[in-house]
Amino acid sequence: MDEGTAAATAIDVATEDRLKAVSDGAAPPTEKAKPAFVATTSRHFPSWLADSGGSLAVSTYQSGKVILIGTNRQTGRLSVFERTLERPMGMAFRDSRLAIASMIQITSFVDAAGGAPGTAGYDALFVPQSASYTADLDVHDVAFGADGRLVFVNTLLSCLATTSETHSFKPLWKPPFISRLAPEDRCHLNGLAMRDGEPAYVTCVAETDVADGWREHRTGGGVVVDVASGEVVCRGLSMPHSPRLHEGRLWVLNSGAGEVGTVDLRTGRFEALAFCPGYLRGLDFVGPYALVGLSEPRENRTFAGLPLQERLAAAKVGPRCGVFVIDTRTGDAAHWLRLEGAVNELYDVVFLPGLTRPMMIGFKNDEIRRTVSIE
């Protein structure tokens, strides 16, 4: 690919997937073979990302990809690198560790480059270092606890859990309205906000205690629950996800309405800051900017009849897949990244501070056999 375009391309030669990135307004690819996906950006997204001093990791379980989006220092353009994992969902980054939940395991990748420019100018090389096999628990959000252990949302059994050396998981907490642990996805517990390394708030699609009961309450049954007290601090949300604490405020994605906003813990009200044209999952922050993941809703019963459909129709736009950079001071979409093609649903978005152009070792070729590091 031409490094002179506004979004430079990094090809992951370890997979058979083809990756392309083109600048906003550039001509579409002319090749007959359809690319795995095409990434387009707003005019200043690449320079904003470069100025941030970091990069992004995006997970798409629908396409089985983890996408690393950074900046090529030699050209100043966007760098996109992807790896194939089985149904990647929640991610967490601390120091040099990137934890990724997938179909049956949570894998911790460690940066073996240590900031030194490596292969083709990449300054981070994530190598799989350890894994906890959980079975298929439909793990959603993942976080690092104060002791470095992983805390995750066990959606199948409606609880928070941590990894175990002898079992699939160790339960830590369940909502008070869940009577017992059962593999029935009773309330669709999905999101986790941490405070000082401890679970603080979670999101659930409904306060239901029967198998798959949450599906009947998708439009307005969503809640935010205080982990310490067990109290519901906000009700009336539509399929909420990705609660996060940032600068003293509790942020939540009101996903079924396409809204990002905050919860007033005194009144229990959700206060929308911005509307984004997509089903929202994945939230992180870079200073005053919120990174919000957007997905195109699937044409099935889970996403049918949500408030988002009316909002899109009123705005006269279709749903998008990508990342919006929202200025939390104004609610404006300062920058955006759009993904099209084979990728149309995202789950998580994580900012990687200090890593400007990361890459990742995969499991399906000889790279993992040849990458050795010494402590």
CATH label of the domain that carries residue 258: 2.120.10.30
- The DSSP 8-state label assigned to residue 216 in this structure reads G
Say how far apart CA 70 and CA 193 lie, in whole Å: 25
- β 124-133/139-144 pair status: unpaired
- Flag whether 12 is in a domain: no
Q: Which domain holds residue 268?
A: 19-370
Helix (H) or strand (E) holding 48: helix 45-52
Q: Total domain count for the chain?
A: 1
Q: How far is CA 24 from CA 10, 57, 65, 346, in A?
A: 17, 21, 23, 21
Task: Show the CA angle centred on residue 230, arms to residues 228 and 234, nearest 5°.
Answer: 110
Token pair for residue 203? 């999101």
Report yes or no: 39 and 339 within 8 Å, Cβ to Cβ: yes
Q: Is 3 part of a structural domain of the chain? A: no
pLDDT at 76: 77
* In-domain check, residue 255: yes
Question: Is there a domain that residue 286 lies in?
Answer: yes
Q: What is the pTM of this model?
A: 0.89
Radius of gyration of the chain, Cα coordinates, nearest whole angstrom? 20
Integer Cα distance of 40 and 69 in angstroms:
12
The answer as to whether 147 is a domain residue is yes
Q: Is residue 73 part of a domain?
A: yes
At residue 136, the 3 state secondary structure works out as coil
The identity of residue 256, as a single letter, is G
Residue 298's Cβ-side half-sphere holds a number of Cα atoms within 13 Å equal to 7
Residue 8 maps to a domain: no
In which band, very low, low, confident or very high, does the pLDDT at 300 lie, cut at 50, 70 and 90? low
Question: Do the Cβ atoms of 357 and 55 come closer than 8 Å?
Answer: yes
pLDDT value of residue 240: 98
User: Among 26-35, 118-127, 297-306, which stretch is predicted with the lowest mean pLDDT?
Assistant: 26-35
The rounded distance, in Å, linking the Cα atoms of 282 and 262 is: 15
Asked whether the beta carbons of 121 and 357 are under 8 A apart, the reply is yes
User: What's the rounded Cα separation, in Å, for the pair 208 and 185?
Assistant: 10
pLDDT tens string 204-257:
999 999 999 999 999 999 999 999 999 999 999 999 999 999 999 999 999 999
Task: Encode pLDDT of 55-97 as tens digits.
Answer: 999 999 999 999 999 998 788 789 999 999 999 999 999 999 9
Condensed to tens digits (0 to 9), the pLDDT of residues 210-221 reads 999 999 999 999
Residue 19 pLDDT greater than 80, yes or no: no
Nearest residue to 264 (alpha-carbon basis) of 242, 234, 292: 234
Would you say residue 186 lies in a domain? Answer: yes
C-alpha angle 137/84/122, rounded to 5°?
125
